């Protein structure tokens, strides 16, 4: 447990540092989903950093592709590529594009960034797994604002129709999107009842930064017999950096040198 | 009278044969399997046919996901919904990661007929060929459809195959060889070259006969491979015949005519006349009168050829 806590702290530091260095990127939604990715890659998922495309691996699709920094920091921490590569985020010629590119980054299972598409692709991956009687799982991470995309619900309908119990989607419910509060821009609520109505197994995690709660949810999701599972995680946008927390202004902005320093000081405290 | 068959019918029938040879082939449809003819495959191989319902964006997204797992999805719906509504899914989830999805869309062009302008896709070639990593194929008849499906499955990456609703004459025999990126020389000629694709190849051949009767020698090229396009054949036609006519059942903007204009501008500018839909939406009607109304007949190609020659 302490290891996960230590790992997520390092991942958060890397997120802040790389976005600071790039002077652009999406810190808020990267920080809010750090525990979800840490738990998946360091405990739950069957992946091999030395064989990123091994056939029976679990897959992860970052449907909210703008949170690329949390994925990159996690993959680097796991050893898919050197951490020094993180310094090249968003630079010309870098494998670390503004949004994840599966053909450039070892460990990235799908290129994403255009919202709503990742969950649809994940449903296709899960369908392939079913066709081949495979036991691996497909994990996807959606933003709460992303639920405004119609394609999410086309995919949700299909996942339940095809009984894709090997599909486990997380919603990073941090309540903020780039233009403000999700309930003011375009409310996706009630999220749980919507997924229930679409035939999904729904689990709510009251604290999406609590590894125990997240673990319990994932383990329950793996037992779903004939339904895809959504784990709705209540999170804090910008988590662990005081001036970024619950502030939509930090959705897609890079911190300056002073802000990076302050954020790192807080994360090391 | 030549035997006739629609390219969608040929597609549905040949899917069965391709699927027997390749167990990774899967077919996805969006509630139009009767019209796209993928129901023929469904009957033969129900466990590899998925109807995602009326959800074209998800049709493309799920196809992408299946492709990441080594499946070879053939995704089918009408051209207007596939290339149109699902455009950005094709762009970002299929072409950007270069996933091995074959997008076979039927009911392209105004030969959709009675359903009218809302359902007549006259933009799909333009939309598909502008995307990096995409291959664009436009078969002229049932035989070329089969050959192009063989070519498509040999490519590890996205391919768009443009199919039609209406019956068209079978122009080729079983020995016909389709080569990616190569135009087919259907008729030699010296005064003008007609470059046609899809269901306009038949009228192009007819036009060459009409021109011959007037003492004009027309070369006819079948440009089934729209992307990659045969630059050498276009350049040779420009240099050796000095005037070009393109013929397509698509908008004159961005389709075959656009592609040929780009090549001519690059390598050998000569007079070009584009026969196609002139930046207009279609409308309901029977196929033949629609083709006449929108200027897509052999007579229109003849007039365009004379105009191009006069501009030399």
Active site positions of B, annotated: 56
Residue A120 to residue B67, Cβ atoms within 8 A: no
Which tens digits make up the pLDDT trace of A83-111?
999 999 999 999 999 999 999 999 999 99
Residues of B in contact with A101 (CB under 8 A): 96-97
Kind plus residue range of the DSSP H or E element containing B207: helix B201-213
Q: How many other C-beta atoms can be found within 10 angstroms of the C-beta atom of residue B148?
A: 29
Inter-residue contact A121 to B65 (CB < 8 Å): yes
User: Distance from A78 to chain B by nearest Cα, in Å?
Assistant: 22
Give residue B2's pLDDT.
77
Binned at pLDDT 50, 70 and 90, residue A239 comes out as: very high
Q: Which residue of A has its CA nearest to B48?
A: A131
Match 């503004």 to its residue by tokens.
A98
Mutate to test the interface with A, among B68, B96, B98, B100 (most CBs of A within 10 A): B68
User: In chain B, which segments carry CATH 3.40.50.920?
Assistant: 184-310
Residues of A in contact with B60 (CB under 8 A): 120
Token pair for A102? 């599966």
Q: Which residues contact A208 (CB under 8 A, 6 or more apart)?
A: A32, A33, A35, A36, A172, A173, A214, A233, A234, A235
Mutate to test the interface with A, among B62, B74, B87, B95 (most CBs of A within 10 A): B62
Give residue A140's pLDDT.
98
Smallest CA-to-CA distance from B47 within B32, B66, B25, B76 is with B25
Token pair for A182? 């999700």
Task: Provide the CATH topology of domain B184-310.
Answer: Rossmann fold (3.40.50)
Cα A137 from chain centroid? Answer: 15
Residue B58 to residue A158, Cβ atoms within 8 A: yes
Q: Is the pTM of this model over 0.95?
A: yes
Give CA–CA dist A1/A254, Å, rounded: 31
Domain at A123, CATH number: 3.40.50.970
CATH architecture of the domain B4-169 equals 3-Layer(aba) Sandwich (3.40)
Using DSSP's 3-state secondary structure scheme, residue B199 falls into helix
Using DSSP's 3-state secondary structure scheme, residue B225 falls into strand
Match 């839909």 to its residue by tokens.
B277
Q: How many other C-beta atoms can be found within 10 angstroms of the C-beta atom of residue A258?
A: 9
Inter-residue contact A33 to A68 (CB < 8 Å): no
Give CA–CA dist A220/A243, Å, rounded: 35
Residue A121 to residue B57, Cβ atoms within 8 A: no
Inter-residue contact B192 to B135 (CB < 8 Å): no
Binned at pLDDT 50, 70 and 90, residue A269 comes out as: confident
Domain count, chain A: 1
Does the predicted interface ipTM exceed a cut of 0.90?
yes
Which positions of chain B have pLDDT values less than 70? 1
Mutate to test the interface with B, among A117, A124, A133 (most CBs of B within 10 A): A124
Binned at pLDDT 50, 70 and 90, residue A1 comes out as: low
- Taking residues A63-83, report their average pLDDT: 98
Residues of B in contact with A122 (CB under 8 A): 65
- Taking residues A209-213, report their average pLDDT: 98
User: In chain B, which segments carry CATH 3.40.50.970?
Assistant: 4-169
Residue B57 to residue A116, Cβ atoms within 8 A: yes
Give residue A72's pLDDT.
98
Give CA–CA dist B220/A206, Å, rounded: 69
Q: Which residue of A has its CA nearest to B47?
A: A131
Could you tell me which residues of chain A have a Cβ less than 8 Å from any Cβ in chain B?
Answer: 59, 101-103, 109-114, 116-117, 119-129, 131-132, 150-151, 154-155, 157-158, 161-162
Give residue A265's pLDDT.
97
Give residue B1's pLDDT.
56
Could you tell me which residues of chain B have a Cβ less than 8 Å from any Cβ in chain A?
Answer: 26, 47-48, 50, 52-53, 55, 57-58, 60-71, 73, 88-89, 92-93, 96-98
Inter-residue contact B216 to B191 (CB < 8 Å): yes
pLDDT at A66 over 90: yes
**Residue A127: which domain range?**
2-268
Residues of A in contact with B30 (CB under 8 A): none
Mean pLDDT (chain A, rounded): 97
Would you give the DSSP letter of residue A229? E
- Taking residues A142-147, report their average pLDDT: 98
pLDDT at A9 over 60: yes
Strands B168-169 and B4-5: antiparallel
Q: In this complex, which of B58, B69, B73 lies closest to A154 when CB atoms are compared?
A: B58
Which tens digits make up the pLDDT trace of A194-207?
999 999 999 999 99
Inter-residue contact B36 to B106 (CB < 8 Å): yes
**Inter-chain contacts counted by CB atoms under 8 A, chains A and B:** 106
Give CA–CA dist B210/B305, Å, rounded: 11
Cα A86 from chain centroid? Answer: 17
């Amino acid at each position: 447990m302490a290891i996960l806590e230590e790992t997520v702290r390092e991942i958060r530091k890397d997120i802040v540092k790389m976005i600071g260095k790039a002077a652009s990127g999406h810190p808020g939604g990267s920080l809010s989903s750090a525990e979800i990715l840490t738990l998946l890659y360091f405990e739950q998922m069957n992946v091999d950093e030395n064989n990123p495309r091994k056939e029976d691996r679990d897959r992860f699709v970052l449907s909210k592709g703008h949170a690329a920094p949390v994925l990159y920091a996690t993959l680097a921490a796991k050893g898919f590529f050197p951490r020094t590569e993180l310094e090249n985020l968003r630079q010309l010629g870098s494998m670390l594009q503004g949004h994840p590119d599966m053909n450039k980054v070892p460990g990235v299972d799908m290129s994403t960034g255009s919202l709503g598409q990742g969950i649809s692709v994940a449903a296709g991956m899960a369908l392939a797994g079913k066709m081949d009687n495979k036991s691996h799982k497909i994990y996807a991470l959606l933003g709460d604002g992303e639920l405004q995309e119609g394609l999410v619900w086309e995919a949700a309908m299909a996942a339940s129709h095809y009984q894709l119990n090997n599909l486990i989607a997380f919603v990073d419910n941090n309540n903020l999107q780039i233009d403000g509060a999700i309930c003011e821009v375009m409310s996706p609520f009630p999220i749980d009842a919507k997924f229930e109505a679409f035939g999904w197994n729904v689990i709510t995690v009251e604290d999406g930064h609590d590894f125990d709660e997240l673990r319990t949810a994932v383990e329950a999701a793996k037992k779903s017999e004939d339904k895809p599972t959504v784990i709705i995680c209540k999170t804090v946008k910008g988590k662990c950096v005081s001036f970024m927390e619950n502030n939509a202004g930090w959705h897609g902005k890079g911190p300056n040198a002073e802000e990076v320093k302050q954020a790192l000081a807080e994360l090391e405290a | 009278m030549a035997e006739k068959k629609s390219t969608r019918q040929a597609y549905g029938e040949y899917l069965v044969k391709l699927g027997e040879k390749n167990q990774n082939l899967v077919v996805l449809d969006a509630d139009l399997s009767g019209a796209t003819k993928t129901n023929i495959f469904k009957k033969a191989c129900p466990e590899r046919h998925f109807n995602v319902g009326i959800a074209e964006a998800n049709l493309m997204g799920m196809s992408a996901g299946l492709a990441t797992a080594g499946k070879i999805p053939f995704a089918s719906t009408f051209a207007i919904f596939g290339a149109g509504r699902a455009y950005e899914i094709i762009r970002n989830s299929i072409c950007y990661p270069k996933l091995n999805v074959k997008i076979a869309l039927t009911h392209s062009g105004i030969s959709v007929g009675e359903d009218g302008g809302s359902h007549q896709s006259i933009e799909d070639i333009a939309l598909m060929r502008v995307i990096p990593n995409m291959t664009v194929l436009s078969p002229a008849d049932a035989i070329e459809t089969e050959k192009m499906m063989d070519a498509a499955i040999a490519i590890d990456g996205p391919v768009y195959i443009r199919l039609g609703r209406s019956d068209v004459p079978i122009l080729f025999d079983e020995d016909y060889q389709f080569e990616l990126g190569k135009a087919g020389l259907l008729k030699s000629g010296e005064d003008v070259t007609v470059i046609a694709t899809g269901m306009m190849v038949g009228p192009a051949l007819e036009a060459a006969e009409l021109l011959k009767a007037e003492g004009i020698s027309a070369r006819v090229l079948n440009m089934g491979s729209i992307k990659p396009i045969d630059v050498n054949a276009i350049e040779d036609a420009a240099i050796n015949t000095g005037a070009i006519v393109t013929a397509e059942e698509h908008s004159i903007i961005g389709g075959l005519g656009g592609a040929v204009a780009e090549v001519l501008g690059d390598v050998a500018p000569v007079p070009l006349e584009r026969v196609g839909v002139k930046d207009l939406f279609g409308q309901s009607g029977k196929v033949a009168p629609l083709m006449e109304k929108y200027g897509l007949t052999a007579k229109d190609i003849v007039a365009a050829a004379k105009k191009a020659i006069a501009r030399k």
